[in-house]
Structure 1
Amino acid sequence: MSKYGVMVMGPAGVGKSTFCASLITHLQLNRRSAFYVNLDPAAEHFEHPPDLDIKDLISLEDVMDELKLGPNGGLLYCFEFLMENLDFLSEALEFLTEEYLVIFDMPGQIELYTHVPVVPTLIKFLTQAGALDMRLCAAYLLDATFVIDRAKYFAGSLSAMSAMIMLEIPHLNILSKMDLLKDQMRKKDFKRFLVPDTTLLEDDPADRSRRKVKVDVHSADPTDKDAIMSGATFKQLNAAVANLIESFSMVSYLKLDSTDEDSVQAILSYIDDCIQFHEAQEPKELADEEYDEDE
């Protein structure tokens, strides 16, 4: 019997726990079962109490106090300890039926998804045939306000692409906190950011203050003082990152407003499609009046 799950991940502060809470509330309102797993050993406040909490096994605070580690080193130690005690997960999850959606609330340290193989090892354990045999997808959140600063947007997109390549499971990239952009950008302009491409660098608002300096971005010497002060070398880096993302052509985004139930439902439908939760159901046919004749 297969189980179904989603790993909610992304950088710190992008709204992962808020999305998890909204998703659980939506599932409950629609009479679907959810099993909430907190895998952030530093998390303290929850809108919905976790059904399984890694802090019952190990906490970041204890690790930092006893081993004199910093936050990042302590977090890696916590996950390595979890890898040595995977029965903590299996014993709690193995009896869940296929009616449940298991929601994993992941920590925000980006190293876990891009540098070390801890999370891929965890995913392999959860998805392998056996007691769990979980159909799993990743929901990678990025703060929608990053589109105001192209450097942050492309850096976030690069981390999302790195996670896609490293984790090797069905993957959704999501721009969260859409409610914060309502007064900052028109919907028509925002559509450009759903698929990253190099043309987004051409009208970077952060670059306008530096345009008076006459420096060729493409041929600027990284050691030249004028190039550094004008930001030309930084623009070179951003252009290289944007070209890399565009050449792979893997990253595209969905929009999320956790305060809007329709938005949460739309993301849930993509999650269900990735994990084939409704595999046995027929696709919903649109009524004739729902089609837009102008399109």
Structure 2
Amino acid sequence: MHTIFVTGTAGSGKSLLTARLLEWYSSNEVTPISINLDPGVSKLQYDPDIDVREFIDFYSIMDEYNLGPNGSLILANDLISTKIEEIQNQVQELNPDYVIIDTPGQIELFVFRSSGPYFISNFYSDTKVTLFTMDGTLAISPISFVSLLFLSQSIKLRLGIPQINVLTKRDKIIEKLPEILKWSNSMIPLLNSLNLEKDTEQSLLSKDIIKTLYKSGNVLSPIAMSNITMSGMVNLSAALSRILTHGEEEHKDES
């Protein structure tokens, strides 16, 4: 069993990417399932096979502990790790090849508190990988692009498993995409673009950050992906295969 954790900032396309991955693997003769780990989400782009909202009621938490929406979200996300056994039991009953886990939209509550790393560390799976969704409409600015790379590295450090960066909304940034890909593949074009920024202080800080990331060898070039047209899915699938199955596509044995 292979597990894909889909992370990213709110509105970056996590849920839609989860839906597309389900479609992709289902069409390739393997059995995927989805898990929604966001206790506060009201609407999803897919019908989850396992839903944390069955175990954690966001609105009941508000009433029981007399908390506002933000306080309830914090407590609800902290409770995720206490439900790992129930979720794992449901996964075992379904016996999938791939588990695609849609993590909470408030990434800071999942990744930077203890619940998220605990869940990822203790969730049983043969192999695991994180997808970090980088909102393409934010990445068109060199300073914002550096910020997303820095956040990506922070998540990788916190979760401690292999990671793939996915540049989402490819179809919305098609004219800017060649330049963004140049920034991804070489430090020099990115530094040149940062030199053109009007905010000198932000530009200098961004250059220091990107130089450090390149020097450490920790720049993960993103795979450009459109959740609407599925453009880029072949590249993403290949990257996932290299990590999860060592490049070998998995197919269900026919009996």
Change (3 A) 1:269 1:65: farther
| Residue aligning to 2:253 | none
The answer to whether the 8 Å contact 1:175/1:255 transfers is yes
Matched, 1:263 2:232: yes
1:148 alignment partner, SS class: coil
% identity of equivalent residues: 22
Matched, 1:42 2:40: yes
State the Cα distance separating 1:253 from its structure 2 match.
1.4
TM-score by length of 2: 0.85
The answer to whether the 8 Å contact 1:198/1:243 transfers is no
State the Cα distance separating 1:152 from its structure 2 match.
1.6
Letter in 2 for 1:169: I
Q: How does 1:82-231 map to 2 (within 5 A)?
A: 82-97=80-95, 99-112=96-109, 115-126=112-123, 132-182=124-174, 184-185=175-176, 187=178, 189-195=179-185, 197=187, 199-204=189-194, 207=197, 210=198, 231=199
User: Bigger radius of gyration, 1 or 2?
Assistant: 1
The answer to whether the 8 Å contact 1:83/1:122 transfers is yes
Letter in 2 for 1:154: V
The answer to whether the 8 Å contact 2:35/2:101 transfers is yes
Letter in 1 for 2:190: L
The answer to whether the 8 Å contact 2:223/2:235 transfers is no
Change (3 A) 1:163 1:39: same
Q: How does 1:71-82 map to 2 (within 5 A)?
A: 71-82=69-80
| Residue aligning to 2:23 | 25
State the Cα distance separating 1:240 from its structure 2 match.
2.7
Matched, 1:12 2:4: no
Unaligned runs of 5+ residues in structure 1 are 127-131, 211-230, 282-295
Aligned equivalents of 2:14, 2:224: Cα separation in 1: 14
Change (3 A) 1:204 1:234: closer
State the Cα distance separating 1:256 from its structure 2 match.
1.0
Which residue of 216, 224, 237 maps to 1:248?
A: 216
2:38 alignment partner, SS class: coil
Aligned equivalents of 1:15, 1:154: Cα separation in 2: 19
Change (3 A) 1:96 1:135: farther
TM-score by length of 1: 0.75
Q: Over residues 165-186 of structure 1, what are the superposed CA-to-partner deviations in whole Å (9 max), with x where a residue is unaligned?
A: 121111111111111112x326
State the Cα distance separating 1:206 from its structure 2 match.
7.6
| Aligned residue pairs, count | 249
The answer to whether the 8 Å contact 1:196/1:245 transfers is no
The two structures, once aligned, show a CA RMSD in angstroms of: 2.6
Give the ranges of 4+ consecutive aligned residues of structure 1 lying more than 6 Å apart after TM superposition. none
